[in-house]
Structure formats: structure tokens, C-alpha cells
Structure 1
Amino acid sequence: MGIVVILGGAYLHLTGQDVEDADLGLATSAGQIDPSQLSSVSVESDFLDSSVESEWGYCTQSMIQGESLDIEQVRADLAKTAESLVIIGDDRFIKVHVHVENPGVALTYGVSLGELDQIKIDNMSLQNQDWASGHQGRNAPKSGVALVAVAPGEGLAQLFRETANASVVSGGQTMNPSVAQLINAAESSGGEDVILLPNNKNVAITAVQATERENETQNLHVIPTSTVSQGIAAALAFNPQVTAEQNLQAMNDAVAAVVSIEVTRAIRDTTVEGTPVSEGDYMGLVEGKLSVLEASAESALLSTLAGVGLSDDHIVTVYWGADTDEETTQAVAEKIEEQTPGIQVDLVFGGQPHYPYFASVE
């Protein structure tokens, strides 16, 4: 929002509209504090929940007194284990402020250089819990539409949070969330209308069951996304500033426009849709249906993509899983670009288990 205001001010100046007060036409977005609430600030419950779950570590401060101290070396050494570094001083006195998981590491390092003074250590995790608990009871429900998404990996969870301000429930294949978990997430979101993205065909059944609960103050809706790729497409189409009905239409349209691909490995001999599958085979799935069998995850992804008919006006997004790495995924992306010159390939860390790759084609 700050960037929008800066750019808006620059635009007014460059177009000769310099004024002391200007209306930049900014809509109040989810998470922004309404002026009427300033007397008793309310903090959104989804932010509080994610904040409390975070590990903040220790704010560690000290003064190092020594001879011929090298401040740049001190900064470089502490940067290996610490965050939020503020290092100032000279060759005799260096003031250190760092955030670390273990304050002893920073203090031991300081002692190795000279005498320590003005030592101060604060547990930021406990400070944050105290702060959050003071706001939990003061939360006013948000009006409008909120989003709850089920995600099987931390990278995907972060993607849903960043793109759509979604409340995220951990789950997916072999780890289906319960009806209660989905309802709790919906209630914590505070929206009058809440849209659920199950992102798995089994979880979709649970999501429908969640909508059947009685709640006079909140309406639950389900976009029956059966894959993560569909869920991300729907999340990108989500707009908290319009009605639930408008969102449902736009999000369903987005789901229909994307082709979902999944790559997973068979854990035993089986038969899938009449095709024999051996333990260890990598299966390429299109919209949940078996497309190819290959010896490696990368060849399964490439063969499956080739089968959907790529062209240079398509966009392929590949989400690599917990057991894959960026370097290997980059090599796959280069092969896709070689096979279809001019195509756009985006790579995103998903962190999902069981599936080396998810991919979408738009």
C-alpha cells in the first residue's frame, strides 16, 4: 500500500496536479485498519495465529571492548548465524545488536574478541506471544469475503498467503484435514463469506461437509479444486473487494482455464485405470488421470507436458517438491524451453511431499 501511495504521489506531481491532500482512490483492503478502529486497534486473527506460530529467537545486544577490532569482520562473522544485524563502532568499541536462535553463540564470539559490557537479551518469541494474547480478544470480525486454502507444503502455503491473504490449513494427499480444522480456519478468518479451496479431491468432500454446519453469521462456499494447480489459479482470481458470488464466478472460470499436472511415484505394484503400474514407477497425471509411466520424475514431467500439446503462447508453472531441488528443476525447465521455443516457464518452490512436481499449463 505504501508503494501505491508513493507512485500515486509521483504521478500527481509529474502530471502537474500537486495538491496538499489527494484522494488516490485506494479501496480499504483486507488487513488495513479502518479509521474508526484507531481508538482500539484490532489485529486480524489470521495474522495473529501465524505470528504466534513463528519462532522469533532472541534479541541480543552487547558492547565489545578490545584492541584493533575489525568492525567489518565482526559484521561478516555474525551474519553467518544472526539476522537483523546492527553493528557500529570503531577499533576499540563495537556495539552489537543481533537476532539469533542461540544468544550464547553471539556472546561467546564477542568474548573471543575482548571484554563484554551492556549485555541485554530479550526473548522475542515470548514478547510476541504476550503482544498477540493482548489482541486475540479484541479482534473484530472482518466484513466481506475471506479465503481458506488447503496446502500440502510450506512453499505452497506461503504462496496462498502472499497472493490471496488466505488462511492456510495443512493437508493434502495422505494427510486430509478434518471438518473441524476447516471450520476453525474459516471462523478465524472472520469473513462474512468464506471460500474454501480444498485442492485435493478427497479434501473436497470434507470441505462440502464443512459447509453443512450451522452458523448464522458466516457463509461457507467451496470451489471444488481437486489439484493444487487449480487452487492457485483460483487464488490468483480472488478479489476481497467484490462479492462472494462474483468471486465464485471468477475463480471457477480460472480453474476451468488451467491444465493440472502431477508427478508421483508408485509405492507398490498396482493397476491404475486398467494400466499395470510397478512399484517405483513415476506416474504423470493430467487432471488426476494417468497419462504416462516413466523411470524418473523429470522424464515423467516432460512426457506429460508433451502430451498436453504445448505451444509458445502457453505459460507453464512448475512447483517442485520437498524431495526435489531447484537445480534439477531448472534443468527440466530448460528442456521444456528447448522443446517449445518461446514458451514461458516459471519455477516455484512448493515443498509438497509425495509429489516431486506439480505443474500447471495456461
Structure 2
Amino acid sequence: MAQVPQTFFDALAVRTWCSLALEALGRAREEIDAINVYPVADGDTGTNLYLTVESAVAAVEAVFAAYDDGKGTPSLADAARAMAHGALIGARGNSGTILSQLLRGMVQVLAADRGTPHTDGAGLRLALRRAADSAREAVAHPVEGTVLSVATAAADAAERTNGDCGAVARAAHEGARAALEATPRQLAVLERAGVVDAGGRGLVAVLAALVETFTGESPGAVLGARARAAHARVDVEECADDVLEEGGPAFEVIYLLEAEDTAVARLRTRLDALGDSLVVVGGDGLWNVHVHVDDAGAAVEAGVEAGRPYRIRITHFAVGDVHTRGGAERPVRERAQRAVVAVVPGEGLAGLYTEAGATTVLARPGEPPASGELVEAVRRAHAREIVLLPNDADLRHTAAAAAEQARAEGIRVALIPTRSAVQGIAALAVHEPGRRFDEDVVSMTSAAGATRYAEVTVAERQSWTMAGICQAGDVLGLVDGDVVVIGADVTAAAETVLDRMLSAGGELVTLVLGDDAPEAIADHLEARVRESYLAVDTVVYRGGRQGTLLLIGVE
């Protein structure tokens, strides 16, 4: 369906731009992956950019969904901040991290005045300049011939243009295209491979989507002899060997970090001494850290000293079927026959699932994973057969989309519609990799379905529930997703919920405690089960920061 051109840069334009940018990167993803030779020829820049923008889209859509009940539309500031936050928490790889900072730089201008419903061409010019400048500031050692050069050229071209948002966007896109064509003359590795910079190519696609947002017209494809080389698969192995022979680090380390500005300044200095390709983006207490190092553990430890790192991803740079470093070759691990991929709501449960052999995707409160994260986890599991546990009713469509994409890549995927982490625990408990795939899936599905689930949480705002009207701060007890108890005491509400669940029978109670749960609640509930329900066992786990005070499962 054709997009309606936007006259001004408002919340709807942010939404449209994100959607068009995701479509553009989806079309160009394989092409961009194919020309990815710098800073490491790991062939994933297009995929990383796509996943970064997918996260931005999800965040913007969540803001608009909050207004679906007739409240109007979000402000430009709200939509722009959501876009930048989504890109920050979902940023992948070097280029994705830089793109997230480009968007954050734009938002510093677009959201400067929360009362302004929209901005014009002059505002867009300022936003593009701030984007380019902030991205350079975030990179420890900026290199010309990369996405930074393309972003700077786009901002320069925009500043030379007078007119509305459409005219500014078109000028920025044309300036970026010209700069992209020049990247091989600036960076020797691109010249040798006969390609343009992959990150810059992705930014041109994103700017083309900006043009379409304001004009309704999509600029032509990137042309030129060097750009056409993108359609031929680059000899990634040869380029990677060049990088490794020059002493490139062995690992890529990425994590989100909750930390103060002063601690992050010290972290930059320490990571800069450990490796290269250092990019630290973000602000307001939340940062995305990206670095290439030989000592991945030291990079993570530096984050621990600075604050609280999470969503830690460590990738060993591999070439073909061997890891190469210093002349040594180690075979890549064989693809397993079967693996389990599960979404988990807290670090404690992530550890539990990992110990049980599952590959986990961490879902923080208010930050559900995108389908791309689930696909990435499926690939990381490195198995021919995958059992996918979303562990959240709201993730069923996201998980289904991820399963379809993985199947398109030749992986056999079974999606078990678990609606809570306790159902996932029950499914994982009966998982037997040596069984026939269908039999294993049936057994796990049966175990999950036989587990009733509940949670105890605190209401964030006044709302109507099946148990009546609750106020912000009330303790809520939910069984199978419906509120059944509204109270003031966490332990009392948990006991009421547990009694209601066990009234229908049960053999095993699973309690998963969040960090904010009362200290004595587990002992109290265990005693309650022991005294009132004969032959019912209780098991307790620490879930960490899981968004709810308590999860309960009854099998």
C-alpha cells in the first residue's frame, strides 16, 4: 500500500520513516551483508542494521498502540524518543550501534521541545547535523571511508539546502550517495575488495526511506561500478584473513549498560586500551557498548566495574568452517541435532534455563524481544531442530514470525505456545534430545499445558480488571493471565492465589522470586503448601529482575 507523503516531521512521519527504513533494509540486507569487509569481514552488517531498525519500529509501534483507545496520537518527542530508545536497546554490531547513535543525535533536536507537534526543513537540517556529530563523538577512533563519512556528507548537503523536509531529505540522500561512492578511495580494504562501505550503504537505504516519507517517491537504487559489485559475493574469507594477519582482535563484545556518565568515561578509556572498533552510545543512564577485543572476559568485567551490564553478546570472529587466529585453526563446533530456545524474564531464570541446556533471550520489563532477536538466538543455538518457548502470550506473533524465518533458512522449528516462564520450566524438564523430534515436542507441549501459571505484581496505574477497579500501587494476583485478587499485602495476595490454584489439585508448586519480593515470602508459601496440601512438593528459584514480584506454577 502506498505511503501518504508527510509534509512536516511529526510523530506519524517518525512511524512511517521507521517502517519504510525496515522495508528498505530488508530488501538490501543480503547485498549489504555481501560487501561487509570492514572493520571485520563477518558478513552481517545488513542483518545487524535490519535488527537495529526492527527494534526501533517495535518501540514506536508500542507508543502508538498506547493511543489506540481514542487518546489521539503521540507527540513528536514521544515517538522520536521511542525510536531512539528502541534502536539503542536493539543495536547490533558496529554499524547498528553507530546507527542507533545517529538516531539519538537526531532526537536530541527533534525532542528538544516536548510541546512542539512537528518540525520543518530547518529542524531536519539541524537534526541531521547533530546526528553526524554525535556519531563521531561516540566512536573512539573515527575512520574515514565508513558510515561516519557518509553521515557527515549527508548533513553537509542538507545544510546547503533551503526548503521543506522533502527537499532536505533528498539533498541528504544525494550527498550520502556521493560519499558512499567515494568510500573505496578512502579505505584500502574497500578498494582491494572492490566494494563500498557496508554501513554507509545501509545508511543510504535509511535516508532513501526518509525521502520517501516526505515525498512519496523512492530514490533510485545505488548505482556505479563499485556499488554494483555489491551484487557479487565478496571473497569474505580472503578479506578476513587480511584483517587477522594484521592482528585484529578475536572477539566482538556487545552489551547494554546501566551506568552513570562519569563511570562510562572511565569505561571508554579502559576498553580503548583493550581493543579496537570501540563505540559507546546512549545516555541518561543507559548505554550500548561495542568493542573488538582478544580478552572478552576483561571487556565484560570492565562493564561490571562501571555499572550493570546485561544482554551480553560475545561473538568469535570465524571464517568459513574454521576459527583462525595467529596461524592456528580450530574447527567450528558441529551443528547439534536439537536445541531449545527460550525467552526468559530475568537473569536468574536465564541462568536456570542455560544450565538446562537452553539458548536464552532475555526480556526485560517493557522491552520485549523482536523477532530478529529470536532468529539470532535460533542461529546461535546452531542446531538442525529447534524447540521455541516464547514464555509470554504477548510474544506469540513475534515468535511465530521468527519461526517462519528460521524455517526459511532450512531449520526445523516447533513453536510451543508457552505463556509463562513456569510453563517453559515444565516443558524443559521433560525435554529429551535423544527422542524423535515430534515425540519430544508433544511431551514438552503436554507438560507446559498441564502447568497452570500465576503471578503477583504491583499495579502501575488505575485500571478495570476482572476482580474490580485497581489503583496504582495495589498488589495484583493473576491466574492464567486474569486478575483474581486485588490487595495491599504481597504475601497475603500470593497465598490467596496459591490456594485458588491448588484447589483444583496439583503435585508440584514452582515459585520464581523477583528481586523485589519480600524476603520471607518463599518460606511462608512453602510452609502453607506443606501444612495444607499433602503430597505437594515445592521448588523455589531466584528470577532476578523479572518485572513481577512472584511467578507461580502448579503442575
Which category of TM-score, normalised to the shorter sequence, fits these structures? 0.5 to 0.7
Give the Cα–Cα distance (whole angstroms) in 1 for the partners of residues 494 and 514 of structure 2. 13
- Amino acid across the alignment from 1:348: Y
Q: Residue 225 of structure 1: SS of its match in structure 2?
A: coil
Give the Cα–Cα distance (whole angstroms) in 2 for the partners of residues 208 and 314 of structure 1. 32
1:86-105 alignment, distance < 5 Å: none
Classify 1:237/1:343 alpha carbon distance in 2 versus 1 (closer, same or farther; 3 Å): closer
User: Could you list the per-position Cα deviations for residues 162-214 of structure 1 after superposition, in whole angstroms to 9, with x for gaps in the alignment?
Assistant: 12x11100116522101110001101111111111000011122000112226
Give the Cα–Cα distance (whole angstroms) in 2 for the partners of residues 317 and 276 of structure 1. 29
Show the counterpart of 1:314.
507
1:199 maps to 2:370 = no
5+ residue gaps, structure 2: 1-249, 256-294, 302-313, 325-330
Which of 235, 246, 266 is matched with 2:459 structurally?
A: 266
1:1-362 alignment, distance < 5 Å: 125=297, 133=317, 138-163=331-356, 165-171=357-363, 173-213=365-405, 215-273=408-466, 275-310=468-503, 314-324=507-517, 326-362=519-555
Say whether the 8 Å CA contact 2:344–2:362 is kept in structure 1.
yes
Greater strand fraction, Structure 1 or Structure 2: 1
- Amino acid across the alignment from 2:491: E
Classify 1:153/1:258 alpha carbon distance in 2 versus 1 (closer, same or farther; 3 Å): same
Q: Residue 464 of structure 2: SS of its match in structure 1?
A: strand
User: Could you list the per-position Cα deviations for residues 98-140 of structure 1 after superposition, in whole angstroms to 9, with x for gaps in the alignment?
Assistant: xxxxxxxxxxxxxxxxxxxxxxxxx783599999557757424
Does 1 or 2 have the higher relative contact order (CA < 8 Å, sep 6+)? 1
Give the Cα–Cα distance (whole angstroms) in 2 for the partners of residues 170 and 124 of structure 1. 20
Bigger shift: residues 176-185 or 264-273: 264-273
Say whether the 8 Å CA contact 1:323–1:356 is kept in structure 2.
yes
Classify 1:314/1:200 alpha carbon distance in 2 versus 1 (closer, same or farther; 3 Å): same
Give the Cα–Cα distance (whole angstroms) in 2 for the partners of residues 252 and 126 of structure 1. 41
Q: Among the aligned pairs, what percent are the same residue?
A: 26
How far is 1:331 from its partner? 2.8
Classify 1:159/1:50 alpha carbon distance in 2 versus 1 (closer, same or farther; 3 Å): farther
Classify 1:303/1:325 alpha carbon distance in 2 versus 1 (closer, same or farther; 3 Å): closer
5+ residue gaps, structure 1: 1-47, 54-122
Classify 1:201/1:124 alpha carbon distance in 2 versus 1 (closer, same or farther; 3 Å): closer
Say whether the 8 Å CA contact 2:467–2:484 is kept in structure 1.
no
Give the Cα–Cα distance (whole angstroms) in 1 for the partners of residues 506 and 420 of structure 2. 23
- Amino acid across the alignment from 1:298: T
Show the counterpart of 2:310.
none
Give the Cα–Cα distance (whole angstroms) in 2 for the partners of residues 177 and 131 of structure 1. 19
Say whether the 8 Å CA contact 1:151–1:169 is kept in structure 2.
yes
How far is 1:148 from its partner? 0.5
Classify 1:360/1:322 alpha carbon distance in 2 versus 1 (closer, same or farther; 3 Å): same
RMSD across aligned positions (CA): 3.3
Give the Cα–Cα distance (whole angstroms) in 2 for the partners of residues 155 and 257 of structure 1. 24
How far is 1:353 from its partner? 2.8
- TM superposition score normalised by structure 2: 0.40
Classify 1:236/1:268 alpha carbon distance in 2 versus 1 (closer, same or farther; 3 Å): same
Bigger shift: residues 170-179 or 137-146: 137-146
How far is 1:282 from its partner? 1.3
Say whether the 8 Å CA contact 1:310–1:340 is kept in structure 2.
no
Say whether the 8 Å CA contact 1:312–1:344 is kept in structure 2.
no
Classify 1:354/1:128 alpha carbon distance in 2 versus 1 (closer, same or farther; 3 Å): closer
Give the Cα–Cα distance (whole angstroms) in 2 for the partners of residues 168 and 256 of structure 1. 21
- Amino acid across the alignment from 2:370: S
Q: Residue 144 of structure 1: SS of its match in structure 2?
A: strand
User: Could you list the per-position Cα deviations for residues 237-283 of structure 1 after superposition, in whole angstroms to 9, with x for gaps in the alignment?
Assistant: 21222232112101111012111111111111100237211221111
Give the Cα–Cα distance (whole angstroms) in 2 for the partners of residues 142 and 298 of structure 1. 46
Q: Residue 502 of structure 2: SS of its match in structure 1?
A: coil
Q: Residue 388 of structure 2: SS of its match in structure 1?
A: strand
Greater helix fraction, Structure 1 or Structure 2: 2
Give the Cα–Cα distance (whole angstroms) in 2 for the partners of residues 296 and 310 of structure 1. 21
Say whether the 8 Å CA contact 2:507–2:535 is kept in structure 1.
no
Give the Cα–Cα distance (whole angstroms) in 1 for the partners of residues 414 and 252 of structure 2. 23
Show the counterpart of 1:84.
none
Give the Cα–Cα distance (whole angstroms) in 1 for the partners of residues 300 and 458 of structure 2. 42
Give the Cα–Cα distance (whole angstroms) in 2 for the partners of residues 299 and 267 of structure 1. 19
User: Could you list the per-position Cα deviations for residues 69-122 of structure 1 after superposition, in whole angstroms to 9, with x for gaps in the alignment?
Assistant: xxxxxxxxxxxxxxxxxxxxxxxxxxxxxxxxxxxxxxxxxxxxxxxxxxxxxx
